[in-house]
């Protein structure tokens, strides 16, 4: 028993001594974590160079766009052909993808040898041979009469310009084997966004953000990048890590100076690397008593299969002895231990370097997603990874050590890269079909110039109906006189109160206007909320609440005893008989207070003040916020004679010649007309451009059948139109995996501010996904692209329709003045115009297109509903005083 223990001790000591000897000899091949982190940083720098347009030409890691933009989502189905060309033989496959509740696939294939004369002949001969073999395969499966989509795995570096080529198939996807591996694994695991090959060659691909790929137009979504990382270090970046053995191997290769990283990693070279190390160690007398055999001198005599066999856990030493004996080296026990450790160091270095480059890719993915911790899957294929007994465990361990903030699953590709080519084709096929469906849904939102001209002409006709006595009652555009007969001239001065009621908040303001050379406007205001129960309660409750807010403000400012002139901004349709009399035509914007419609809102305010009996005010003017906007801008620019609101609601006012206003007495001068254009189309005149989504939004609103134009152009409704479209696309299986979430069912969830955020050019898709997640919508990258496209279609149509209506107004102003070319300023307010990234630009472009003889300046209003109300009150006071004189 003692003898057995002694023998074991002797063997362990012998093994340790041999390992130490080899470790000392191959010190430069043993890479510390610090070195690997440095390699990782170098590789990240090369990736950035490869992605840049100006630096790609000098990058060793070429970062080739694959034009594969989407991963499988489980909805793919159909029959697909695939061809896998990448070695001494190629494979033809038929892949059937099923999706009947549960995704599955069925694969049948046939291998064809590739004769040497074909491999080394012309390209035409090679592809003719491939086509003949494919036809043979199709005939054997009775597929020759079917036109099936074809995927082509071409396992060599390629610069692609697009995914489809012009041959007689529905869709042709040409993919690299690495991309094919990622797609194969992506079918089984949706988290798979990295492909890795570790075999005869080595390479990696991953899904990169489009905004980072300078070589491809567009910045929406993601695209798979084929790194072609085998050439990493070809510029000398790894020279400090390459050993004399690496240099000798490279010099003896078919492509000296190229693919240097691959030559340190892939199975094509590791056996030869081991041979060169053993040869030198033998010549130095460290192995085999210094006796070199002819076999050891022969290039490629040691292959990767030998290295794998020698590194096996239990039988490794006996395998080593057998292999070395076949090489006529007659090894001792010490030799076998040393040789086995040489193999371990060479293969371990391969796994370490591979792990460092992979860790760089994973870090980039994590940073692209802006997450503290990444959860992802790496799809892997390749003989070295599959057959080496220790390689996978070593690779996984090192990767997890280098990127501790990444939870990585390694998924072995079971069906090879050819199935991946079929999956790329299936995904492309799915996306093409989806594209047709999405285009069909959004087509009604794309308005031609002719359609917009038609809208402009119809708006012009409705403006005229509203101005005429005999047609005004039935006109949808009410053209309400405001009795504001002048714009500021700079002589206005004094203290004025302004009230602003137009939404869920109510403001009270004190405005001090100074005239003369140092003219200025100072404002003090306080905001009060209007609860929903007050908005939809009785009229008396609403006006009592307003007066309560005024009382609080007057006390806050210390002016409760002063009887100040007041302008009341009341942003709802009113029919005015004079500047201080306004009869409510009908509520909008969610208000439903009873006993108000048909009543004079100024009288209701005066009654509420009397009921409170605490203070008195001189109510001079009832003002629409649109008119206030025009007046605010008119104070700065005398050329401003149009006001536009593009926010929660939508409206326009303008200065009309009195002679054209039949519903008001007098022909001299001008008066501001509040168009209340939101009701345009209520008579059905624009039904041809209303979509089913517009009708759904209208039917679900508080005032069904009314304000149809406003419901297509204003912020209050655009988000709801988007929501209806998203529901429809989800029902068609084009969004959110076909699952309508509870949050998506909620009316009003999609506020207009989300449209503005989602359409922002500065916002990456990752941030769009976060917005959708806040709304309870769990979206993929592809979902985010579609949602952004839907938002864009809805908001663009709104801006164009608004522009068409405004073009009708400016054209009318031009004709009123009798000029060939009009110069005019439009004062604008509203969150949609101010905050949406594209609304203002599209609106202005539309006006230019439809009213080319009008030079329109757009001026942003500063507080039209507060400052504007005070200015109208001041102008009314000025004109009143002039009249008295």
Q: Give Cβ neighbours of residue 635 (< 8 Å, ≥ 6 apart).
A: 487, 488, 490, 521, 867, 871
Question: Quick one: what percent of the chain has pLDDT higher than 70?
Answer: 92
Residue 571 annotated in active site:
yes
pLDDT at 163: 37
pLDDT tens figures, 70-124: 877 777 777 877 777 765 567 787 777 777 666 677 778 788 887 777 767 777 8
pLDDT at 828: 96
- Decide which of 584 and 877 is more confident: 584
pLDDT at 795: 96
- Asked whether residue 169 carries a pLDDT value surpassing 50, the answer given is no
Question: pTM for the full model?
Answer: 0.73
pLDDT tens figures, 719-778: 999 999 999 999 998 888 888 888 888 888 888 788 888 888 766 676 777 888 887 887
Residue 567's beta-bridge partner residues? 498, 621
- Decide which of 80 and 420 is more confident: 80
pLDDT tens figures, 323-370: 999 999 989 999 999 999 999 999 999 999 999 999 999 999 999 988
- Asked whether residue 853 carries a pLDDT value surpassing 60, the answer given is yes
Average pLDDT over residues 852-870: 87
Residue 299's beta-bridge partner residues? none
Catalytic residue among 571, 795, 840, 861: 571
- Asked whether residue 820 carries a pLDDT value surpassing 80, the answer given is yes
Which of 159-173, 307-321, 494-508, 613-627 is least confident? Answer: 159-173
- Asked whether residue 5 carries a pLDDT value surpassing 70, the answer given is no
Could you tell me the sign of the dihedral formed by the alpha carbons of 352, 356, 357, 363, in that order? positive
pLDDT tens figures, 472-483: 888 999 998 988
Least Cα distance to 17 among 323, 343, 337, 475 occurs for 337
Residue 625 annotated in active site:
yes
Catalytic residue among 73, 84, 381, 625: 625
Q: Classify residue 214 as exposed, middle or buried by CB count within 10 Å of its CB (0-12, 13-18, 19+).
A: middle
d(CA 410, CA 204): 13
Residue 507 annotated in active site:
yes
- Asked whether residue 525 carries a pLDDT value surpassing 70, the answer given is yes
Yes or no: say if 649 and 714 are a contact pair by the CB < 8 Å rule.
yes
- Decide which of 518 and 11 is more confident: 518
Structure tokens at 67: 């034009």
Q: Which residues of 558-584 are buried (b: 16+ CB within 10 A; e: fewer)?
A: ebeeeebbbbbbbbbbbbbeebbbbbb
| Confidence class for position 12, pLDDT limits 50, 70, 90 | low
Catalytic residue among 349, 394, 507, 690: 507
Least Cα distance to 796 among 857, 692, 718 occurs for 718
d(CA 654, CA 660): 13
Average pLDDT, the chain: 87
Tell me how far apart the 2 most distant CA atoms of the chain are, in Å.
132
């Amino acid at each position: 028993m003692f003898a057995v223990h002694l023998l074991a001790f002797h063997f362990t000591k012998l093994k340790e001594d041999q390992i130490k000897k080899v470790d000392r000899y191959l010190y430069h091949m043993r890479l510390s974590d610090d070195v690997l982190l440095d390699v990782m940083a170098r590789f990240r720098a090369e990736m950035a160079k490869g992605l840049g347009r100006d630096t790609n030409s000098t990058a060793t890691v070429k970062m080739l766009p694959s034009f594969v933009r989407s991963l499988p989502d489980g909805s793919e189905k159909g029959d697909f052909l695939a061809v896998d060309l990448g070695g001494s033989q190629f494979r033809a496959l038929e892949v059937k993808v099923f999706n009947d509740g549960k995704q599955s696939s069925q694969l049948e294939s046939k291998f064809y040898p590739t004769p040497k004369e074909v491999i080394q002949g012309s390209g035409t001969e090679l592809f003719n041979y491939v086509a003949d073999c494919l036809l043979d395969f199709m005939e054997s499966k009775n597929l020759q009469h079917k036109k099936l989509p074809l995927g082509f795995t071409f396992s060599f570096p390629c610069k692609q310009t697009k995914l489809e080529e012009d041959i007689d198939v529905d869709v042709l996807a040409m993919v690299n084997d690495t991309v094919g591996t990622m797609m194969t694994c992506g079918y089984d695991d949706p988290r798979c966004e990295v492909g890795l090959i570790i075999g005869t060659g080595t390479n990696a691909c991953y899904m990169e953000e489009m905004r980072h790929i300078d070589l491809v137009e567009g910045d929406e979504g993601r695209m798979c990048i084929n790194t072609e990382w085998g050439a990493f270090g070809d510029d000398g970046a790894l020279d400090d890590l390459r050993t004399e053995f690496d240099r000798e191997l490279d010099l003896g290769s078919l492509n000296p100076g190229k693919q240097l990283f691959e030559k340190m990693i892939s199975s094509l070279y590791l056996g030869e690397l081991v041979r060169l190390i053993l040869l030198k160690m033998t010549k130095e007398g460290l192995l085999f008593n210094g006796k070199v055999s002819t076999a050891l001198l022969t290039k490629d005599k040691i292959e990767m299969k030998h290295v794998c066999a020698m590194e096996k856990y239990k039988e490794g030493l006996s395998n080593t002895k057998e292999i070395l004996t076949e090489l006529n080296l007659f090894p001792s026990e010490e030799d076998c231990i040393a040789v086995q450790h040489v193999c371990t160091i060479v293969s371990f270095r391969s796994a370490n370097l591979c792990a460092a480059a992979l860790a760089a890719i994973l870090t980039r993915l994590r940073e692209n997603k802006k997450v503290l911790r990444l959860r992802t899957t790496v799809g892997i294929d390749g003989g070295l990874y599959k057959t080496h007994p220790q390689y996978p465990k070593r690779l996984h361990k090192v990767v997890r050590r280098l990127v501790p903030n990444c939870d990585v699953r390694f998924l072995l590709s079971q069906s090879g890269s050819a199935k991946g080519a079929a999956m790329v084709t299936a995904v492309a096929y799915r996306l093409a079909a989806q594209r047709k469906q999405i285009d069909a849904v959004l087509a009604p939102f794309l308005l031609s110039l002719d359609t917009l001209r038609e809208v402009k002409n119809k708006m012009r006709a409705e403006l005229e109906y509203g101005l005429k006595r005999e047609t005004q009652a039935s006109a949808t555009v009410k053209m309400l006189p405001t009795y504001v007969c002048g714009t500021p001239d700079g002589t206005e001065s004094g203290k004025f109160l302004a009230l602003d009621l137009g939404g869920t908040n109510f403001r009270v303001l004190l405005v001090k206007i100074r005239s003369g050379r140092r003219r200025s406007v100072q404002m003090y205001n306080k905001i009060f909320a209007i609860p929903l129960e007050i908005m939809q309660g009785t009229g008396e409750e609403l006006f009592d609440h307003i007066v309560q807010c005024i009382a609080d403000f007057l006390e806050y400012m210390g002016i409760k005893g002063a009887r100040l002139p007041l302008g009341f901004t009341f942003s709802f349709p009113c029919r005015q008989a004079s500047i201080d009399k306004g009869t409510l035509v009908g509520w909008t914007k969610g208000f439903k207070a009873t006993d108000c419609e048909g009543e004079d809102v100024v009288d209701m305010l005066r009654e509420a003040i009397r009921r409170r009996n605490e203070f008195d005010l001189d109510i001079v003017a009832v003002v629409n916020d649109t008119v206030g906007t025009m007046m605010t801008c008119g104070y700065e620019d005398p050329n401003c004679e149009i006001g536009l609101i593009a926010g929660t609601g939508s409206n326009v006012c303008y200065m009309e010649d009195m002679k054209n206003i039949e519903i008001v007495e007098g022909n001299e001068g001008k008066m501001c007309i509040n168009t209340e254009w939101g009701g345009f189309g209520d008579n059905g005149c624009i039904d041809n451009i209303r979509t089913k989504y517009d009708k759904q939004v209208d039917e679900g609103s508080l005032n069904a059948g009314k304000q149809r134009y406003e419901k297509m152009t204003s912020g209050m409704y655009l988000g709801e139109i988007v929501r209806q479209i998203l529901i429809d696309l989800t029902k068609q299986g084009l969004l959110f995996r076909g699952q309508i979430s509870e949050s998506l069912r909620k009316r009003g969830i999609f506020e207009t501010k989300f449209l503005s955020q989602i359409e922002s050019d500065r916002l990456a898709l990752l941030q769009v996904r976060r917005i959708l997640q806040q709304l309870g919508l769990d979206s993929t990258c592809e979902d985010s692209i579609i949602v952004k496209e839907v938002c864009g279609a809805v908001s663009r149509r709104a801006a164009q329709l608004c522009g068409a209506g405004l073009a009708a107004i400016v054209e009318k102003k031009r004709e009123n003045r009798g000029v060939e070319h009009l110069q005019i300023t439009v004062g604008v307010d509203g969150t949609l115009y101010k905050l949406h990234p594209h609304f203002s630009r599209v609106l202005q472009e539309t006006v230019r297109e439809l009213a080319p003889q009008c030079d329109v300046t757009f001026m942003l209003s500063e507080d039209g509903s507060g400052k504007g109300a005070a200015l109208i009150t001041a102008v009314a006071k000025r004109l009143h005083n002039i009249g008295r004189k």
